[in-house]
A and B are shown apart, each in its own frame.
Chain A
Amino acid sequence: MTVRTERLPYGVGRLTGGWYVLIGVLLAFVVLGLYAYSRQLAVGEAVTGMRDIGTMGGATWGLYVAFVVYFVGVSFAGITVAALIRLMNLEFLKPIARMAEVLTVIALILGAFSILADVGRPLRAILNLFRYARPQSPFFGTFTLVISGYLFASLVYLYLDGRRDAALLARIPGKLQGFYRAWAAGYRDTPAERERHERASFWLAIAILPLLVTAHSTLGFVFGIQVGRPGWFSALQAPGFVLLAGVSGVGLLIVIAAILRKVLNVPDQLSPQVFRWLANFLMVLTVAYLYFVIVELLTTTYAAHYHEVEVSRALLVGEYAWLYWASLAFLVVPFLVLFAQFITQRYNIPLIVLSGMLVNLAAIGKRYLIVVPSQTHGTLLPYGTGAYAPTWVEYSIVLGLFALGALLFVLFVKLFPIMEVPETLVSEGAAQQVIEGG
């Protein structure tokens, strides 16, 4: 028996110098975001680039709303992957299940914070949504299903899936032992418990998939059922949101998995097979989304309403053209790269990671293009075109949110194994000691 006692797996609890530096850098960005937010609270949203639609010639939803949509979109990955592993018996994907679940939880928290950054009265928003929220408003779904329901469901999933590992780690003496014991909550890994967990997570997966489609669709409906804004009113909006959510979520999951593979030095657990599967999944989602883009493009340019064409013109050849074509390129190029790998069956992890990064940039770009141009170029009365450019406050808050997300992730990695712990990693000797000793 190889004895590797007293060490928690995957670097949990071992705080290295590099880790502290990383925490410091991330904290600095979080503080920058907080400072920007304090300016916004003190002065009002006049410090942002947003202005009223119409006579003020602005966009009243800007970067914040684009990132609400982006962050909620990213949350797609975790639960989908976790549910697919369970429902389709994809055992080899188990190592990425937990990091995907954590990604979902963190992304949803960031989405909620982005909403709070956007609203003019954050405290009142929290109270009044619980008190008065109306089902007829598309925000009802965003607030009840996405932020509350989805987040809670993901936490439940993460918690239940982690019990076995918590029970294993609770056998190793250390500062975090009490935490693991609380998480395990009496789990002993008996066959009965294992079977019960299998059954519970199967039904959770079944319950979460429809919630996932509903949640991302409600976010699409925020835009898709507004007839007064050219470029928004489209039945493709809701399914398009679900797909782009998948693209960005899976893309980011690939990036995170690759980073952890390097940092934790676990090329065997996070095998090329895992990346191959993720790459293929991302390829399918990307090409499906590209199909949506083309359908949308044809519909709005071919025989459309005057104002629809105006918005399309701003996108295709006007003010937003650089962003539109860049976003499109960042979808097409990754697709081609992934497709070539699929055809040749020769997968290259750096290229897959690059694709993951590019589709995320594309997703951010597309979210921005959905939110903003319909306000600046889509007024039905002849107000003239508007303009919107984010200010340093908006950039800082968004940057701070990203840093907060990374910070939460890095903290979690040091608190709990980010991958399922193989039995052999926890030595029986240590387990024996604990049982005898106490």
Chain B
Amino acid sequence: MARYAMVIDLERCTGCRACVEACKVENNTPTANLWMYVFRFEEGEYPNTHVWFMPRPCMHCDNAPCVKVCPVGARYKRLDGLTATDWERCIGCRYCEVACPYGVNYFNWKDPAENYYLDWNDEDLAAVTGGTTPPYRNPDLDQPYGSEQRRVAGGGRAKGVIEKCTFCVHRVEQGLLPACVANCPLFALHFGDLDDPNSTVSRLLRRKPSFRLLEEQGTQPRVYYIGGKPPTTETRQIEEVKARV
């Protein structure tokens, strides 16, 4: 069984937020729900300042607080290390959201639209995408997975349930990379199997020093950052995103 992990190279990230966009198109998440988010940070006082960027997917923790508190087991840990949400079992109590120190859970405050971002019938678009299946017609997003046959892929499914980053489980199961990783123009995001010593993530983590976010919380995240340092209490967001439902 694979042990999936993500490695994020902060040295390479330019804060372009292409990953955020890719995630939204792939998973059709409601507008305000940022499964993948990129912090734009600044530190220090003028003239001695420093600007840097930090992508924030779900950390898919090994000791996930959200899984522990879920009253009905809708949030659960898969054997391949992904922390999944069964939106068919979720009762919408939002306990996972208050338990999560990273703020990666998003509630569907109202009925999600079938298609949010692109007009897939547009001919010009079809010429570019080359017949890619739109998310709302992607059968992979609608299929129950694994031996349990639970519905964990895709977003914008139903009103009143929690959704969060799935590491694009439907792509990963087909041997593809998560949409954010596949679409990063600077290869700042890496995804792979930690059990395979030759995978990109294993090699990167061997070569470079890394950290994980809020490691002191004991959550054992599966997202590793290299080429930088964690945000401190002095770190400020340049522009606070206030996404509105």
Contact = CB atoms under 8 A, between A and B. Distances in A.
Interface residues of B, number: 57
Given A119-B92, A227-B65, A46 B110 contact: yes
Contact of A137 (B95, B106, B162, B219): B95
Q: List 4 A-B pairs, minimum CB-CB distance, nearest first.
A: A120-B92, A120-B160, A54-B103, A228-B101
Contacts of B94: 60-61, 118, 120
Contacts of A134: 70-73
B128 interface: no
A132 B236 CA distance: 41
Contacts of A119: 91-93, 160
B77 to A, nearest CB: 12
A59 B244 CA distance: 13
A207 B208 CA distance: 60
A150 B105 CA distance: 32
A197 interface: no
B149 to A, nearest CB: 15
Interface of B: 32-34, 37, 39, 41, 56, 65, 68-74, 89-95, 97-111, 159-162, 213-214, 217-219, 231, 233, 235-237, 240-245
B38 to A, nearest CB: 10
Contacts of B101: 227-229, 380-381
Contacts of B240: 57, 383-384
A121 interface: yes
A137 B91 contact: no
Contacts of A131: 72
B237 A380 contact: no
A44 B110 contact: yes
A120 B69 contact: no
A227 B218 contact: yes
A350 to B, nearest CB: 41
B20 to A, nearest CB: 10
Nearest to B71: A139
Contacts of A54: 37, 102-104
A210 interface: no
Nearest to A128: B72
A137 B68 contact: yes
Which of A61, A134, A140 has the most chain B CB atoms inside 10 A of its CB?
A: A134
Interface string A148-173: 00000000000000000000000000
Given A228-B99, A381-B214, A383-B103, A120 B91 contact: yes
Given A55-B243, A56-B242, A381 B160 contact: no
A43 B97 contact: no
A120 B87 CA distance: 12
B97 A53 contact: yes
Given A132-B73, A381-B214, A382-B235, A118 B93 contact: yes
A348 B161 CA distance: 52
Nearest to A131: B72
Contacts of B56: 381
B73 A121 contact: no
30 contacts: A45-B107, A46-B245, A52-B97, A56-B242, A57-B240, A57-B242, A119-B91, A119-B93, A119-B160, A120-B90, A121-B160, A124-B90, A124-B91, A125-B91, A125-B93, A128-B89, A132-B89, A136-B69, A139-B93, A140-B71, A226-B69, A227-B101, A227-B217, A227-B218, A228-B99, A380-B101, A380-B214, A381-B213, A382-B41, A383-B103
Contacts of B108: 44, 120
Contacts of A228: 65, 98-101, 217, 219
B74 to A, nearest CB: 8
Contacts of B159: 44, 120
A43 B94 CA distance: 18
B32 A56 contact: yes
